[in-house]
Structure 1
Amino acid sequence: MKSRPESLTQASEWEPSGPDGDALVETTAARVLRVAMVAFARDGYAGATTRQIASAAGVTLPVIAYHFGNKDGLHRACARDIVEQYRRRLLPLVVTARATADDGTLSVAEARLWLERILSALVLAITADADQRLSTDFVLREMSEQGPGYDLLFEQLWRPGLVLVADLVAIARGRKAAQEGDSLGATMLLASLTAFTRQEPVTRAYLGWDGLSHDRREQITGSILAMLDGLLART
């Protein structure tokens, strides 16, 4: 059985004041995970160090070892947390869409409607809040650098999402099974949303936007749905 480092009891809780003055408790593991997410998103797996993460989280290296084992384990824990975030936000929608696509009775119009729902939900998720943006930055790092958490993200997040969108695109085009063109179209459609992830500063500067208001999120949704129209028109 692992022994708990003495320093763990010294940094086991974080208690900032909430909006009503109530204490908000953050466990040591959650704080380390949050700080690690920032470090990995900013510096990548290769650039971030557990020493830097421990210092920023206000803990010692044995605390990270106790909770996560090593740097690889900490990186994979970040990936698992991101998968859980997306599941909480999108799982009911995605599960229902997957089951509907698989039962073989989905019409062309119904498949398009599911695509609209999924894309609208993704726009909201990507532009929702700082925590979600941080998760997106981590994910985009993994797409290019492929650290220890990459396989988990690919198998549990990216592949299922791409397959679902490709299958719905195929049905919306009147096909029973996705072809390579449907898969490529799904990839390009989802990739367009990166304009409001790591590329957002450039996008906002070009558009002259000082933020992402509700009306601007509606514009983003309208634009991605127009792209969907164009994709489905090319059968």
Structure 2
Amino acid sequence: MPYGRRMAPRRSAPRGSYAKSADTRRAILDAAIPAFAEHGPEGASTRGIATAAGVNQPALNYHFGSKDGLYRQCAEAIVDRFALSMGESTAPAVEFLAAGGSDAARAHALLNGVMHGLVDTLVASTDAQVWSGFVAREMHAPGEAFAVLYDRLWQPGTELAAQLIHAARGRRGGIETARLEAAMLISNLVAFTSGRRVTKKIMGWQEIGPDQLAAVRRSIARQVDALVAVVPGDE
């Protein structure tokens, strides 16, 4: 299925004689993502990115061609890292759907697994807290990276969840409704990315530790159960 292929991370750069080059690219991307997240593509300083990465400024052009090229590659890197983090939870779901996905109970369990993986990636991961600013900018003001994030992350991820919702309902109800519900289900976790500070303050949480993470998982599981239990048109 196309959404399964799109979410797969690209092959890692080879090691050996290419290790230094790959490590330099990684260092530049690690410095550029938070810079672009905070200042945007126009406001971020390539000199500042180079300094933070521990390289000279020409190295940015050598590896990425231009500032715009670096910005697009930041989006590609975010998707690759996201896919790597989500792989254990999404791979069984993709295989299940590719095989026809006829077992409703299995689809329900896989949907829970995907959502729990998403909680771990978006809520528990410190990396995601850095990515979220970059991603939020492209959501609110689409730019050079929007197509990358949409084609490789947002659309295939939402479609995967929608197909699992539809399968968990025994293919009853419309797929369009399942897509809407998948988008809304996933959007709940924005409260822990761009809205993290607000959510912590509302909940009175000083941090999001194991107990808080478990509470988020339970809440998402209840939402999944409620979605699967009600088939549009059968209410």
TM-score (norm: length of structure 2): 0.82
Which aligned pairs between 1:51-90 and structure 2 lie closer than 5 A? 51-90=47-86
Give the aligned partner of residue 182 of structure 2: 186
Summarize the Cα distance change of 1:234–1:49 in structure 2 as closer, same or farther, 3 Å threshold. Answer: farther
Q: Does the 8 Å CA contact 1:171/1:177 hold for their aligned counterparts?
A: no
- Which residue, 138, 142, 156 being the options, matches 2:134? 138
Q: Does the alignment pair 1:100 with 2:96? A: yes
Partners of 2:59 and 2:122 in 1: how far apart?
Answer: 32
Which aligned pairs between 1:134-173 and structure 2 lie closer than 5 A? 134-173=130-169
Larger relative contact order (Cα-Cα within 8 Å, sequence gap ≥ 6): 2
Which stretch of structure 1 is more off in the superposition, 137-146 or 62-71?
137-146
Identity of aligned residues (%): 36
Q: Does the alignment pair 1:201 with 2:194? A: no
Q: Does the 8 Å CA contact 1:123/1:193 hold for their aligned counterparts?
A: yes
Count of residues in correspondence between the two structures: 212
Which structure has more helix as a fraction of its residues? 2
* 1:156-209 per-position Cα deviation (integer Å, ceiling 9, x unaligned): 122111111001111112217852111000000000001111111000011100
Amino acid in the other structure paired with 1:30? R
Query: 1:58 Cα shift?
Result: 4.7
TM-score (norm: length of structure 1): 0.82
RMSD between aligned alpha carbons? 2.2
**Structure 2 counterpart SS, 1:127:** helix
Amino acid in the other structure paired with 1:100? F
Q: Does the 8 Å CA contact 2:79/2:152 hold for their aligned counterparts?
A: yes
Which stretch of structure 1 is more off in the superposition, 36-45 or 142-151?
142-151
Query: 1:105 Cα shift?
Result: 4.5
- Structure 1 residue ranges without an equivalent (≥5): 1-12, 14-25
Q: Does the alignment pair 1:225 with 2:212? A: no
Runs of 4+ in 1 over 6 A off after TM superposition: none
Give the aligned partner of residue 211 of structure 1: 207
Query: 1:126 Cα shift?
Result: 1.1
Q: Does the alignment pair 1:112 with 2:108? A: yes
Give the aligned partner of residue 36 of structure 2: 40
Question: Which structure has the greater CA radius of gyration?
Answer: 1
* 1:84-124 per-position Cα deviation (integer Å, ceiling 9, x unaligned): 21222222432321121232243221111011000011101
**Structure 1 counterpart SS, 2:124:** coil
Give the aligned partner of residue 21 of structure 1: none
Amino acid in the other structure paired with 1:64? L
